[in-house]
Every structure is written in structure tokens, then in C-alpha cells.
Structure 1
Amino acid sequence: MELQKNQSLLIQPEWRIIDQSSLGPMFDALQSFAMDDTLCTSVGAGNSPSAARSWVHHDTIVLGIQDTKLPELEAGLKVLEDSGYRYIVRNSGGLAVVLDEGVLNLSLVFPDSEKGIDINRGYDAMLQLTKEMFKDFPVHIEAKEIVNSYCPGSYDLSINGKKFAGISQRRIRNGVAVQIYLCVNGSGSDRAQVIRDFYHAGKREESRKFIFPEIHPEVMASLSELLGTELTIQDTMLRFLQSLKGFSGKIFASQLEGEELTLYEGYLDRVHQRNEKVLENQSK
């Protein structure tokens, strides 16, 4: 019964697929947040079926609001710039994460029912989908907090205690977006080292108001490292689409259309302004 309950969010009459996994380095992370807000609004209003979006961003650090409270934020940001990363501040909770060409991000966007989708049900649906995607490997994917990882949370996904993914949620206008980043290939510990360096430069002293993670790079790894197989973004995308089709039976490719394009422009403008305001306020 529990499995069926977890799967029920995945079992939709049809899934609308928006694939943005190969748009390249010019595709900015702020565009992704505007996309998910647009889809939440569209799906929540009943103007779109449930949607699944895939996306990849190059050399980008996504910061949480709490990260901008670092005592020496500018020193931390300089470390990121010197390491070749862009950075943005996201409009949902959590702490800093690394996105690059070896990290596949997936969003599942559902309508929020009258009773409301329980937060854990959204997380469990994404966990179930991830397990389905890699069921041909003899490993146990576990959801629990990996304390010394970056952006630790109770729905960190790990194999043998090493984290390869994190799940978050955003709710807006009767829509729910459940988002995951999957470290598909490359070095998980190298990514963690970047965030560790950022915090070391930005903290200087302990903040009394906020506690930032003490990162141990060795607790993070990519799926390629953990499964002993060199996975590509394309291979992982195929697993994603096949798994989702298994739950639904019907998937179709799509892009934003009609009123969604106007909505998107508005949301994009909003996230740009908000991002600039947050970073501007913290640098004063």
C-alpha cells in the first residue's frame, strides 16, 4: 500500500515533458526558476497536465537566502568567481549547491489537490522515480540526511552513505514543483570542495544567528563513481523518460505556449529583480 501511495503522484493520465538538458552554457539558472514558477501556475490552474522538466546549467552555484547572511559574503563570492563559477540566489529554501554539465536537474510539477499534497508525498514520489531509474543496479538508494554534505536535508539521496542527490520543493499558485539535482558524473568530492572553500572564506568567524554546514567532501560522490559505470546526461535522461512512461503510459514533448510565455516573462523579470536586490542588500 505504501508503495502505491508513493507512486500515486507519478501515475498521471499523461506527462508533459519539457527537456532543457542540452541548451548549453548560455542557459541561466534564473530562467529555470522562472520556468518552474510558470509551470506551477499553469498546472495549478488546470491549463496544463502534470509536467516534468529536465535541465542542466554550466558552472553555476545556486545559493540559498541563508548563504547571503555569511559574515564575509563578498570573500566567499570571490572564491566562487575565482573558481570559474557564476552564482545566483534561489527563491526557495536550502543552502548552496553546485550545478555543472555533469549534474542533471529534474522537476515534477503537480496540481495541488483540494486537500493539499503532503510535503513528504512529493519527496517520496521523486525518491520512487529515482529508484526506478536505476533499478538495474544492485544498490540500495537511501533517503536520509548526510550531515557533512552541502545543502543537507532529510531527503538527501545516498548509496553507502555517500550523497549523490538532493530534493527540494516549491509551491506557488496551486502547483507543486518537486526538484532534484542528480550528480550523474564527474567528482562529487570536487564539487563539495568548492562549497567548502566558499564557506571557509565567507565565515571567518562563526555566525551567531545562522549555522552553516561543515563540509567533508568525501561524503559526496556522483552516480558514475558509486555505480562503477560512466553514466552520461543523455543516458540518465533516457532512464528518466522510460521510467515516467512506465508510470503513466503517455508522455509527450512540449515547450511553453500561449499565455505561459507571458507568465514566464513576468516570473523571469521578478526573479532577476529579486536576485539583484538580495545580493545588493548583502554587499552593503
Structure 2
Amino acid sequence: MSELLKQTEWRFIDQSGINPHFHALQSFAIDDTLCRSVGGRYSPPTVRAWVHSPTLVLGIQDTKLPDLQAGLHFLREKGYEGLVRNSGGLAVALDEGVLNLSLIFPDTEKGIDINRGYDAMWDLIQRMFADFDCEIKAGEIAGSYCPGSYDLSIDGRKFAGISQRRIRKAVAVQIYLCVTGSGQARAELVKEFYEHAQYQESLKFIFPEIQTKVMASLSELLGVAFSIQAVMQRFLQVMKEKCDTLSVSQLRDTELDWFHEYYERMMERNDKILTYREP
């Protein structure tokens, strides 16, 4: 197992239950808060699980789409909310069938090599599904949404993507896992968003040519009707095996002040970028 996963203590924050009042902007503010806490040694290494109602999370590059407002209008018609995260990458679809996990480590004096963070998450997912006769590969899946070198796939179909954020002497490794539902339907949503936002007219940035059939959920790939909680049980089993203490927690004390600071910052950024203004 990855050495990064072997910690004396893991702090666990569980936000995997469906809560219509839990906004995805809060999630990104929480992870930044935890980076500050873990990087400052106020908190032990922390893992967080989170699920959101239908949301298309945009990367900074997506805000440069030629007709972003038309894309956002399309999302609203489909019952999705659009927001911009505080990191790079491209659009990712979240809904009640997508489980997100964040692993937050303190950075070392020499620094954690970027691939070690990715490999730790890949190792975790492999171990969570080790009882299945399948190979979970890491590598870019052409035609997927938000393609990257650590796309996770089975038989050439992507079910997860990993990203990293490094701030405040900490590393947050984040993954979205398409657990249930149709991966192809999620890809179709993202594809249509880009089409409405006129991605082909962009002269400065290249956006993905999405091929919907390369996306799938774990339930589709493994032939098992997984629930989010069933996958959570697999996750907790792996984590408990490799640490002395897994302590359940929420944000506390000074962290709550930090959270409000980061959340306000996220809201201000989104209001500035996404609010329609007359030319």
C-alpha cells in the first residue's frame, strides 16, 4: 500500500449523505480549510467523503468558453447548477450517484511528489474493489470529460478522475467516483453543455471532444447495483486496516472561522464569474 495511506491516525469527515442544503461551493471551502488545518499541524491527516445534488463543477478554463451563459442556462433547464471550483481542470458532473473522496496530507519539508499523491488515491480505489476480477488502470481516457493522466478506468471506460490541490503546506488529493447511474448520460450532459457554450468557437483554449461511450459507472462496469453507502463501507474497511485510529469528526473551533473565510471567497469568485451582466 502507498506509504501516504499508512498514518497513525486518520481524521474522518463524513458528508456522504444527501443534504439538499449542502452546497458544492461549501465542499471546496471545506477542503481548503482542512489543508490549512492539516498543513499547520492543527489536525491529523484527514479524509472526507462527500456527495452533492446535481451540479456541474467547472474548472477555471471553462469560464473562458465563448458563450458560458448559454451553457449555464442549459444546465438550469436540466436541473443542474453550475459553479466554478478554485483549481484547474475542466467540467465534472456531480449528482447523488457520484461519491467524492478527499485525502489531505501534510506536505513534507522536501515536498510530496505529485505522482505519490495520485498513486495513493489509485491504490486506495484498487484495494476497495480488490475482490472483483478486474484491472483498474490509471491513464488518460481520450473522449472523456475532464481528461487527465490519472483517469481511472476498467476495460477502457472511465469511472473516476483524480485531481490535486496544494496550499498551506498541505496536499488535497480528490477523486470523483461514478458509483451508480449512467456514465454515458453524465457525459452527454457535459457534451451538450460545451455545445451550448460554443466550445468549438474558442480560439485560445482547447476543450474535449467528448465521446459519451467511454464513460461508465462502477455499477455498470462491475455488474453490481452499488449504493453510495456500500462503497463507503469498502472505503472504511481499507482505511481501518491501515491506521491505528480512525476518528470521526467535523470542523471545529478555529476551523469554522477559516471555513467562513474560504466560503465567502468562493462565493465572491463565483458571483463575479457566473452572474450575467448586460454588455
Aligned residue number for residue 110 of structure 1: 105
Q: How many matched pairs? A: 279
Work out whether residues 123 and 178 of structure 1, in 8 Å CA contact, stay in contact via their aligned partners in 2: yes
Q: Secondary structure at the match of 1:171?
A: strand
Give 1:52's aligned residue: 47
**Structure 2 equivalent of residue 211 of structure 1:** 206
Give the TM-score normalised by structure 1. Answer: 0.96
| Superposition map of 1:65-76 within 5 A | 65-76=60-71
76, 95, 99: which is aligned to 1:100? 95
Aligned partner of 1:273 in structure 2 is 268
Q: Distance in 1 between matches of 2:276 and 2:86?
A: 16
Aligned counterparts of 1:282 and 1:166: Cα–Cα separation in 2: 33
* C-alpha distance in structure 1 between counterparts of 2:277 and 2:90, whole Å: 16
Alpha-carbon distance in structure 1 between the residues aligned to 2:277 and 2:35: 29
Counterpart of 2:158 in structure 1 is: 163
In structure 1, stretches of 5+ residues that fail to align are none
Report how far residue 73 of structure 1 moved: 1.2
The one of 236, 239, 251 aligned to 1:244: 239
Deviation at 1:8, TM superposition (A): 0.6
Q: CA RMSD in A?
A: 1.3
1:227 aligned to which of 206, 222, 227: 222
1:283 shift after superposition? 7.6
Residue 146 and residue 282 in structure 1: after superposition, are their counterparts in 2 closer, same or farther (change >3 A)? farther
Q: Structure 1 residues 282 and 93 mapped into 2: Cα distance closer, same or farther (>3 Å)?
A: farther
CA displacement, residues 167-223 of structure 1 (integer Å, 9 cap, x when unaligned):
001111101100000000000000000000011111264311000101011000000
Shift of residue 279, structure 1, vs aligned partner: 1.9
3-state DSSP class of the match of 1:87?
strand
Q: How far did residue 23 of structure 1 move?
A: 4.3
Which residue of structure 1 aligns with residue 177 of structure 2? 182
Q: Which residue of 2 aligns with 1:31?
A: 26
From 8, 13, 16, the equivalent of 1:18 is 13
- Paired position in structure 2 for 1:255: 250
Paired with 1:27 and 1:50, the residues of 2 have a C-alpha distance of 23
Q: Does 1:191 align with 2:198?
A: no
Percentage of pairs with the same residue = 61
Q: Distance in 2 between matches of 1:283 and 1:224?
A: 45
Structure-1 residue corresponding to 2:142: 147
AA at the equivalent of 1:163: K
Separation of aligned partners in 1, 2:7 and 2:84: 32
Contact 2:35 2:170 (C-alpha < 8 Å) held by counterparts: yes
State yes or no: 1:133 paired with 2:135. Answer: no
Instruction: State the Cα distance separating 1:249 from its structure 2 match.
Output: 3.1
Larger mean CA deviation between 233-242 and 201-210 belongs to 201-210
| Structure 2 letter corresponding to 1:227 | L
Deviations 1:99-132 (A, max 9, x none): 0000000000000000011111000000000000
What is the DSSP-based 3-state SS (H/G/I as helix, E as strand, rest coil) of the residue aligned with 1:117?
coil
Question: Are the counterparts in 2 of residues 61 and 86 from structure 1 also a CA contact under 8 Å?
Answer: yes
Q: What is the CA distance between 1:69 and its match in structure 2?
A: 0.8
Unmatched runs of 5 consecutive residues or more in structure 2: none
Residues 98 and 191 in structure 1, CA contact (< 8 A), matched pair in contact too: yes
CA contact (8 A) 1:70 1:207 kept: yes
Q: Quick check: 1:149–1:213 contact (8 Å CA) kept in 2?
A: yes
Amino acid at match of 2:185: D
Contact 1:143 1:154 in 2 (8 A): yes
Return closer, same or farther for 1:31/1:110 CA change in 2, 3 Å cut-off.
same
The letter for the 1-side match of 2:5 is L
The CA deviation at 1:74 is 1.3
**Alignment match, 2:76:** 81
Aligned mates of 1:8, 1:39 — CA distance in 2? 20
